[in-house]
Amino acid sequence: MNFLNEVASRYPEAISFASGRPYEGFFDTALIQEYLETFARYLRDEKGCNDAQVNQIIFQYGRTKGIIHELVARQLACDEEMLVDPEAIVVTVGCQEAMFITLRALRRDERDILLAVSPAYIGITGGAQLVDMPVWPVRSGPSGIDLDDLAAQVRQARKAGLRPRACYVMPDFANPSGVSLTVQLRRDLLALAASEHILLLEDNPYGLFHDGVHLPTLKALDTSRQVVYLGSFAKTGFPGARVGYAVADQRVAADDGSVSLLADELAKLKSMVTVNTSAVAQAVVGGKLLRHDLSMAAANQRETAVYLGNLKHLLAWLGQRVPDGDGSWNCPAGGFFVVVTLPFAADDKLLERSAREYRVLWTPMSHFYASGEGLRQVRLAYSQLTPELIETGLDRFAAFVADQGHDVAGRGR
Ligand SMILES: Cc1ncc(COP(=O)(O)O)c(C=O)c1O
């Protein structure tokens, strides 16, 4: 990612399909004040706080598990039909901290490993590296996860004396693949996780950006506390707030025989990493939730329309500009990403050339694999662009692909 940022900074005039950042057209600093005041009013009116208490909650150090846990639980009920105990929620500094402390909690010694559907988001593989937890890739296949491979990896790990603790998966509009799991596959995955006694780490920052068909999350289908749900307000709120959360309702036995929630174990770790998530940031996100009747789907109607419009535009323009032999691509029904398969290897060197000579940026898919796969694939993110930029960017991308394809064909003759 440092390399991608570095290339982007060297070619500022390049149109970037590289970064999965949210659309900026509706950002407005006046909203921050409005949301903050909405949250303060909620503390007074709904929670019965006086002015001194409101000031204390927003200005002071705060509860480690967060101050908007009840609002998050209400949002999950409203948007996802997920009924969760607010006490099982830990509000974190972005989803990244939720991933990190969850992995840290799961990693007891060198026998513990993480399984992750491959290609995988770099935040999870990076987090696992930080806690010294090897990541074993699980094939995704065309459906998003190959359950036979998952079962085989679990067996193989156990045979080697290792403990597969959890499998990381993105059932909705995965980053980077854009793929979503069918409801049946979600149910089968839950059944397999239960029979193999592994947790599922469900990461879902993009699920609300759908075209009207909203599938149940794994956590909504989870009847045996098999799923730790990793949430982010980076895309539905805004990334500058750095607010995410974990729903960890698993029961954990302590050495003294007492039983607590995994969320409480995560909170202990969090207290040693970030103490608590910024109360100001939580208040702003909480205010946004309150302003939209606890629905991030409602809060993001305009953004969702932008993303779906951009996706439609991107797919149509790819069809017009990239001839059959030059590439193929998947067609997700939402999210931020489309994957294009090319007839040549699209590596970092070619990205540099694409930026320099064609002024267009994309992400090599090989970055999301552990070893040598995805070489002919690139990820295109369309969330931050306008239809005009998508057209110009894809004209440039198509020219790059055609010229590169001819160079490769020429060398082969
Ligand atoms: C797969 C995935 N998980 C989580 C996140 C969000 O993390 P955070 O809330 O830390 O910004 C992202 C953002 O890019 C992501 O793509």
DSSP bridge pairs for 114: 135, 166
- The confidence score (pLDDT) of residue 413 equals 46
Cβ atoms of 114 and 136 closer than 8 Å? yes
Can you give the C-alpha Rg of the chain in angstroms? Answer: 22
Cβ atoms of 273 and 210 closer than 8 Å? no
Mean pLDDT, residues 42-60 taken together: 98
Residue 83 has pLDDT above 90, yes or no: yes
Backbone torsions φ then ψ of 213, nearest 5 degrees: -95, 105
Quote the ligand 1 centre to 121 CA distance (angstroms).
8
Ligand 1 within 6 A of CB of 234: yes
pLDDT band at 47 (very low <50, low <70, confident <90, very high): very high
Ligand 1 within 6 A of CB of 203: yes
pLDDT more than 70, % of the chain: 98
- The confidence score (pLDDT) of residue 411 equals 63
| Mean pLDDT rounded to a whole number for the chain | 96
| Nearest-10 Cα torsion for 136, 337, 237, 88 | -30
Ligand 1 within 6 A of CB of 126: no
Q: Which residue has a Cα nearest atom 16 of ligand 1? A: 175
Quote the ligand 1 centre to 249 CA distance (angstroms).
21
- The confidence score (pLDDT) of residue 408 equals 67
Ligand 1 within 6 A of CB of 265: no
Q: Which residues lie closer than 8 Å to 159 by C-beta, 6 or more apart? A: none
How much is the pTM?
Answer: 0.96
Two structure tokens written together for 162: 């290792």
Mean pLDDT, residues 137-150 taken together: 96
Ligand 1 within 6 A of CB of 127: no
First to last CA, the chain: 36
